Amino acid sequence: EAGVAQSPRYKIIEKRQSVAFWCNPISGHATLYWYQQILGQGPKLLIQFQNNGVVDDSQLPKDRFSAERLKGVDSTLKIQPAKLEDSAVYLCASSPRHQETQYFGPGTRLLVL
């Protein structure tokens, strides 16, 4: 069974630029999550999708972050414009249904200069 795929693996941008991350969850998994992990901290949930609907985006900085999950499969997370404090690893995870074990991708490491 293929795992959660993410791309790119690394990205370096300058502040005020925009960036997008892509996630392909495990086939058949209805629930998809995006987390932000700042160096030295645990991951923090940004947004949770159930199929293609948002069920929790309470911690997503909506003035600069946006996410979508078209057709209930792949998802993209966008930052526009980026700030220095957005430097982090962005992790995507999926689960068959909510409240079940989450499977994580390798993450995208973002550095904002």
Partner 1 sequence: KQEVTQIPAALSVPEGENLVLNCSFTDSAIYNLQWFRQDPGKGLTSLLLIQSSQREQTSGRLNASLDKSSGRSTLYIAASQPGDSATYLCAVDLGGGATNKLIFGTGTLLAVQP
The answer to whether 77 contacts partner 1 (rule: CB under 8 A) is no
Whether 67 contacts 77, CB under 8 Å: yes
Of the candidates 11, 65, 75, 105, which one interacts with partner 1 according to CB under 8 A? 105
First to last CA, the chain: 37
The answer to whether 110 contacts partner 1 (rule: CB under 8 A) is no
66: burial class by Cβ within 10 Å (0-12, 13-18, 19+)? middle
- Cα 31 → chain centroid: 12
Of the candidates 42, 63, 70, 71, which one interacts with partner 1 according to CB under 8 A? 42
What number of other Cβ atoms are within 10 A of residue 51's Cβ?
12
The residue range among 18-26, 34-42, 63-71, 78-86 that interacts with partner 1, by the rule CB under 8 A, is 34-42
The answer to whether 27 contacts partner 1 (rule: CB under 8 A) is no
The answer to whether 103 contacts partner 1 (rule: CB under 8 A) is yes
The answer to whether 5 contacts partner 1 (rule: CB under 8 A) is no
